[in-house]
Structure formats: C-alpha cells, structure tokens
C-alpha cells in the first residue's frame, strides 16, 4: 500500500517556508498541535498539523535545526483564518513560543455551541455529527515527544486537521444562515487577547480553592500561592512539584514563622523545610502577614444563598434552559451556574451573560423575570415565558 506523503513530517526550515508560503494563499487553514507538559510548567511543542484547501502537512518542531518562523508568520497572517478546535491551549503554546496570537481566529468548539451542538462538544462528537465520520482514538495517549512516531500515530494526528478542514465551512455556513457570526467574533476577541494567556503569579490564588474566616490566613494564602507560581515558572516545573495545594492551605492556616514550625506541618513534604526553597516560602508567609487589609480578598459567604435568592436562581436556570432550546445555543456558552447566582444577587453583576449577544438572548429576560416583568408557566407540560407587556 502506498504511503501518504503528508505523513512524512517536515523537518527542514526550507521545506517549512515553502509550505507556509503555499498556505498563505489559502482563505483558511485548520491547525492543531501536540504537546507535552507533564514534567514542565511551559508546554513542549512536539508536533504541528496544518490542513487547508491546498493540502495538509505535519511539522516536527523537535527536528534538529528547524526554525519555526515561517509557521508563526502564517499564524499572524491576517488574510488567513486559523481554525482550531478548543483553541485555548494551542494558542497558549503559540503565544508562549513566539509572543503572538493566531489571528483571525475561528474556534470550532465555540461555533458548535452557538449552532446548538451542546455544551463544550468534543472534537470526535462534532466530526461525527457534521461529517458522519468516526475517529480512531487508539493513538490518543501517544508520547508525542518520542521519535520516531509511527505511521498510525501520524495519521491520527493529521486527521485532527483534515476533518476540521471539512467541518469549518459547514459551521461557517450555519453561522451565516442564523446571522450569529458576530456572536462567535465576540468570543474570538477574548481568545485573541494576549491578557488571556498571561499567568501572573500575584493572581495565582484566584485559580485555587481557599476560604477562611481569618484575614491573616487569606493574606498569607495569596502570597504563598504567588510564590509557588513564580517558582514553577522560573524552574519550568509543574506547580505540584513545588508544593501541592493542600500544603498551601495548611501553611496559610498555620502561618509558620521559621523552619521548625514549617517542618511539623503534615502536608509539607518531609525534608522540604530544610531545602533552599523553604526560605523563599517563609518570606512569602511574612509578606502575607504584613499585607494591608484592603488588598486581601473577601471570604465567600458560607452555606446556601438566602431563601429568596435561591428561588430566583432556580427560576433563572429554567429560563436559561428555555432560551437555550428556543435559540439552539448551548446553555454553558450563555451562562454558567456561577453567573446565574451572581445575577440573582446583583442586577449589575460583572458576568458575560449581562453584556453583548448573551444579554440580548438571555440577560435582559433574566432581569425582567427577576423583577416580575415576565413570568414562567407551563404549556403542554413544557416551561414557557410569558411577557406582561
């Protein structure tokens, strides 16, 4: 059986420049990346897949001497739409490697949610729904950093973009038919914003779960989370290789002042207190203890919301379901459960559902329902919205 020449990865700069020049003449290219980050903080780019109307290729970023400038130039070419599925991690890699954001951008997962294919639909499910094609998943857990890659592994990787190349025009056509291109464009603006991919150590605490009555504990947690993030980025190792989250929580609650107090904490690994990192951690604890009150995050309220707010939340969830079905848009894309609770508490909550296309679709009606201007009812066993105007 004749081998597919596209399964021979590009390993030279000259060949890469040649194919990227060709792709620059296409109206769009489907793009995917394979990477590893199990032992590093920053992802290691291991394989790049591209498919456009003019063809498809695999690129080996680990090939000796290859320079990826031509690829990054293509990603920045405003005349070519870059199509990804669940784009965020792929874009994060490009941004971390070349300090650029692929633009213009099209995320097929978000587009599919706008077109009514369900919440956060996976690539395989989308391809089956749009193209009636299955995907061989046996190579899903490949170590993409190992060489050589088998023909089966390479075929699996290439299929991620050849199928996406077929799916993109179908999704784009549906968006044009429904007049919802601007909805997706609003979402792409978030993905195209470099701030989306900047991991500031001082904001690390926001991604973690911690609640304590003590302001002192919350302040310390903020600073030791920032210390861990900075250590992980500087040393290029996973965060948990520095300290696990349960250790951060215990340290914040106990606020050790010295090596001896740090060493007796159960969640702190044996020997850590005597390591070179312990000094920096203890300095972060002291920094947190001296943090001004107005810089300390507020504790989230414990227990269920007030009775009336709980009722409003439940009604808003029903409304969300009605709007999702009526307009064929995934509920998760319109509003999250946390967004619903915030709207129940505050008419001016800073949530996506109260701005842009989401406001037109749901937010405006949510506020109307909250204040009694519209009502929920049942018709033929199905919930409906009644407008009192």
The total of other beta-carbon atoms located within 10 Å of residue 304's CB is: 9
The answer to the question of residue 301 being in a domain is no
Whether the bond between 47 and the residue before it is cis, its omega within 30 degrees of 0, is no
Among residues 247, 275, 295, the one where a domain terminates is 295
Indicate if 104 and 86 belong to the same structural domain.
Answer: yes
The total of other beta-carbon atoms located within 10 Å of residue 118's CB is: 17
SS3 state at 312 = helix
Indicate if 81 and 11 belong to the same structural domain.
Answer: yes
pLDDT tens-digit map of 278-334: 999 999 999 999 999 999 998 876 544 556 688 899 999 999 999 999 999 999 999
The answer to the question of residue 64 being in a domain is yes
Average pLDDT, the chain: 93
Indicate if 69 and 166 belong to the same structural domain.
Answer: yes
Indicate if 172 and 30 belong to the same structural domain.
Answer: yes
**Alpha helix ranges (H) inside 200-306:** 215-235, 239-242, 245-254, 259-263, 276-289
The radius of gyration of the chain from alpha carbons, rounded to an integer in Å, stands at 25
The answer to the question of residue 300 being in a domain is no
Closest CA to 106 of 120, 130, 126, 86: 86
Contacts of residue 255, Cβ cutoff 8 Å, sequence gap at least 6: 216, 217, 220, 285, 288, 289
- The total of structural domains in the chain comes to 3
Indicate if 153 and 221 belong to the same structural domain.
Answer: no
Residue found by looking up tokens 């020997």 in the block: 271
Does residue 388 carry a pLDDT above 90?
Answer: no
The answer to the question of residue 164 being in a domain is yes
The answer to the question of residue 166 being in a domain is yes
Per the document, the length of the chain is 389
Give dist(CA 341, CA 19) in Å, integer: 50
Does residue 192 carry a pLDDT above 90?
Answer: yes
Give dist(CA 324, CA 276) in Å, integer: 54
Give dist(CA 352, CA 373) in Å, integer: 22
Residue found by looking up tokens 């897949």 in the block: 49
Give dist(CA 319, CA 301) in Å, integer: 25
Q: What is the CATH number of the domain that holds 349?
A: 1.10.150.80
Give dist(CA 332, CA 118) in Å, integer: 8
The answer to the question of residue 317 being in a domain is yes
Does residue 273 carry a pLDDT above 60?
Answer: yes
- Distance of alpha carbon 270 from the chain centroid: 34
| pTM score, whole prediction | 0.86
Indicate if 145 and 104 belong to the same structural domain.
Answer: yes
Indicate if 231 and 94 belong to the same structural domain.
Answer: no
Does residue 1 carry a pLDDT above 50?
Answer: no
pLDDT tens-digit map of 64-93: 999 999 999 999 999 999 999 999 999 999
CA angle 35, 38, 42 (to 5 degrees): 65
Does residue 179 carry a pLDDT above 90?
Answer: yes
Indicate if 282 and 330 belong to the same structural domain.
Answer: no
Give dist(CA 51, CA 26) in Å, integer: 10
Task: Return the half-sphere exposure (C-beta side, CA atoms, 13 A cut-off) of residue 6.
Answer: 17
Among residues 197, 229, 261, the one where a domain terminates is 197
The answer to the question of residue 36 being in a domain is yes
Indicate if 46 and 89 belong to the same structural domain.
Answer: yes
The answer to the question of residue 302 being in a domain is no
Among residues 155, 176, 197, the one where a domain terminates is 197
Does residue 2 carry a pLDDT above 80?
Answer: no
Indicate if 227 and 315 belong to the same structural domain.
Answer: no
Give the mean pLDDT of 220-248. Answer: 97
Give dist(CA 133, CA 167) in Å, integer: 11
Does residue 127 carry a pLDDT above 90?
Answer: yes
Residue span of the structural domain in which 132 resides? 5-197
Q: What is the CATH number of the domain that holds 51?
A: 3.30.420.10
**Bridge-based pairing state of the strands 28-36 and 81-84:** parallel
Indicate if 128 and 44 belong to the same structural domain.
Answer: yes
pLDDT tens-digit map of 129-151: 999 998 888 888 899 999 999 99
Give dist(CA 180, CA 173) in Å, integer: 10
Indicate if 187 and 212 belong to the same structural domain.
Answer: no
């Amino acid at each position: 059986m004749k081998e597919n020449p596209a399964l021979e990865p590009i390993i030279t700069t000259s060949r890469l420049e040649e194919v990227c020049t060709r792709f620059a003449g296409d109206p769009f290219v489907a793009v995917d990346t394979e990477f590893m980050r199990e032992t590093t903080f920053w992802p290691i780019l291991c394989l790049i897949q591209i498919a456009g109307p003019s063809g498809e290729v695999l690129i080996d970023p680990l090939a000796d001497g290859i320079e990826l400038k031509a690829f990054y130039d293509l990603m920045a070419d405003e005349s070519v739409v870059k199509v990804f599925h669940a784009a965020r991690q792929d874009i994060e890699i490009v941004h971390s490697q070349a300090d650029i954001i692929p633009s213009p951008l099209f995320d097929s997962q978000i587009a599919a949610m706008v077109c009514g294919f369900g919440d956060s639909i996976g690539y395989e499910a989308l391809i089956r729904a749009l193209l009636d094609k299955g995907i061989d998943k046996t190579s899903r857990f490949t170590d993409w950093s190992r060489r050589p890659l088998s023909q089966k592994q390479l075929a699996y990787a290439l299929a991620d973009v050849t199928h996406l190349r077929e799916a993109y025009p179908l999704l784009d056509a549906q968006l044009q038919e429904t007049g919802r291109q601007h909805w997706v464009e609003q979402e792409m603006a978030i993905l195209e914003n470099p701030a989306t991919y900047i991991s500031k150590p001082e904001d690390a605490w926001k991604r973690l779960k911690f609640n304590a009555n003590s302001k002192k504990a919350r302040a310390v947690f903020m600073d030791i989370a920032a210390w861990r993030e900075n250590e992980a980025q500087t040393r290029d190792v996973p965060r948990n290789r520095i300290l696990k989250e349960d250790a951060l929580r215990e340290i914040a609650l106990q606020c050790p002042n010295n090596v001896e107090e740090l060493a007796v904490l159960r969640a702190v690994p044996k020997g850590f207190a005597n390591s070179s990192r312990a000094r920096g951690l203890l300095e972060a604890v002291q920094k947190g203890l001296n943090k001004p009150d107005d810089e300390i995050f507020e504790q989230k309220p414990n227990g269920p919301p007030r009775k009336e707010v709980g009722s409003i939340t439940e009604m808003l969830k029903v409304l969300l379901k009605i709007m999702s079905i009526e307009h064929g848009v995934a509920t998760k894309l319109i509003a999250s459960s946390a967004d619903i609770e915030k709207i129940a508490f505050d008419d001016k909550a800073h949530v996506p559902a109260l701005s842009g296309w989401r406001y037109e679709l749901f937010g405006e009606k949510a506020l109307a329902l909250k204040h009694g201007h519209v009502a929920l009812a049942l018709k033929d066993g199905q919930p409906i919205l009644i407008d009192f105007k």
